[in-house]
C-alpha cells in the first residue's frame, strides 16, 4: 500500500466537481479508496470513471442537508470498502445578495448546506470513527469567514460557524483518536469563481501577495496533509490557503 493514504477509505461530499473532485483525485493518487457524494448523478458517474472505476471509487447521490442521506453515504463507504478513515465536508453553494435584497430562503439555503451539512457529516462519522479508534475529518471553511465579503452575509456566517464547529468537535473527539481540522481557501480558480464579474476578480487579485489565484489541486494538497499521518499532532487547526491574502 503506497502513498500517504494507502489502504484507507475517504468520503468527500460535493466530490463530483471543483475542489471536491480535486480532493478525491488527490486521495486516489495517494492510495485511498474514495466515496464521493453530490446531487448531480451524471457528474457522479463521470467522477467514478475518472477516479479509476469501482475498485477505487464509489458514488452516491447525497443532499447534505438531510442527515439520513449523509449517513447513507458513509454506509456506502463501509459496505464497499469496510471503513471510513477520512471525511471531507466540502459540499457548498452560494446565494449572494446584499442585506437589502437577500431573502430568508437564500440565507437558509446557504446555512443549511454549509453549516448543517457539515454538522450532519460530523454526526454521521462519529460512531464509525469512535469504534475504529481513529479518523481524520476535514471541514471546508473559507477566507470569507475571516474577512467577510459584501453580498455574502449568509456564506461568511456559515463558513465562520464551521470554524467554531471544527474546534468544538476537535475537543470532543480527541480522546477517541479522531482529529478534526479546517481549511480556508481564498480565491481558487474554479468554474464558480471564474464566473465572477471581471472587476470583482481583479479586486480580489490585487489583494494576493503571490499575484495569482490558487488552483483546486493546491487546496487538495493541504486537505491530503491534514487527512494523513503527517498531521498526526494537528487537531482543531484552521489552515488558510490564500496566497497570502489578508495576512
For the chain (247 residues), the mean pLDDT of every run of 10, in chain order, is 92 97 98 98 98 98 98 98 98 96 98 98 98 97 95 97 98 98 97 87 95 98 98 98 94
The three state secondary structure string of 54-112 is: CCCEEEEECCCCCHHHHHHHHHHHHHHHCCCCEEEECCCCCCCCCCCCCCHHHHHHHHH
Residue range 9-239, CATH number: 3.40.50.720
* Domain range annotation of the chain: 9-239
How many C-alpha atoms does 190 have within 13 Å on its Cβ side? 17
Non-local (6+) Cβ contacts of 89 within 8 A are 13, 64, 117, 118, 121, 122, 137, 138, 139, 140, 162
Distances (CA, A) of 22 to 120, 198, 221: 22, 25, 9
C-alpha cell at 28: 486516489
The pLDDT, as a whole number, for residue 247 is 85
pTM of this structure: 0.97
Task: List beta partners, residue 38.
Answer: 61
As annotated, the active-site residues are 155
Q: Is 172 helix (H, G, I), strand (E, B) or coil?
A: helix
C-alpha cell at 134: 481513529
Q: Burial level of 2, CB count in 10 A (0-12/13-18/19+)?
A: exposed
C-alpha cell at 152: 455574502
Amino acid at each position: 500500500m503506497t502513498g500517504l493514504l494507502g489502504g484507507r477509505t475517504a468520503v468527500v461530499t460535493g466530490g463530483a466537481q471543483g475542489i471536491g473532485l480535486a480532493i478525491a483525485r488527490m486521495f486516489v493518487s495517494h492510495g485511498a479508496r474514495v466515496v464521493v457524494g453530490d446531487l448531480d448523478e451524471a457528474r457522479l458517474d463521470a467522477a467514478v470513471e475518472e477516479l479509476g472505476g469501482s475498485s477505487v471509487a464509489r458514488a452516491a447521490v447525497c443532499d447534505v442537508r438531510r442527515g439520513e442521506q449523509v449517513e447513507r453515504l458513509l454506509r456506502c463507504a463501509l459496505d464497499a470498502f469496510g471503513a471510513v478513515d477520512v471525511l471531507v465536508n466540502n459540499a457548498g453553494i452560494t446565494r449572494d445578495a446584499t442585506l437589502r435584497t437577500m431573502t430568508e430562503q437564500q440565507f437558509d439555503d446557504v446555512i443549511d448546506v454549509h453549516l448543517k451539512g457539515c454538522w450532519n457529516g460530523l454526526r454521521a462519522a462519529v460512531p464509525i470513527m469512535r469504534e475504529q479508534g481513529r479518523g481524520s475529518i476535514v471541514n471546508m471553511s473559507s477566507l470569507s469567514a475571516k474577512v467577510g465579503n459584501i453580498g455574502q452575509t449568509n456564506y461568511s456566517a456559515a463558513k465562520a460557524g464551521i470554524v467554531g464547529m471544527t474546534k468544538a468537535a476537535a475537543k470532543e473527539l480527541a480522546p477517541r483518536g479522531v482529529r478534526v481540522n479546517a481549511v480556508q481557501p481564498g480565491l481558487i480558480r474554479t468554474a464558480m469563481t471564474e464566473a465572477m464579474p471581471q472587476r470583482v476578480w481583479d479586486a480580489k487579485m490585487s489583494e494576493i501577495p503571490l499575484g495569482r489565484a490558487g488552483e483546486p489541486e493546491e487546496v487538495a494538497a493541504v486537505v491530503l496533509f491534514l487527512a494523513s499521518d503527517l498531521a498526526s499532532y494537528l487537531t482543531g487547526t484552521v489552515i488558510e490557503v490564500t496566497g497570502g491574502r489578508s495576512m
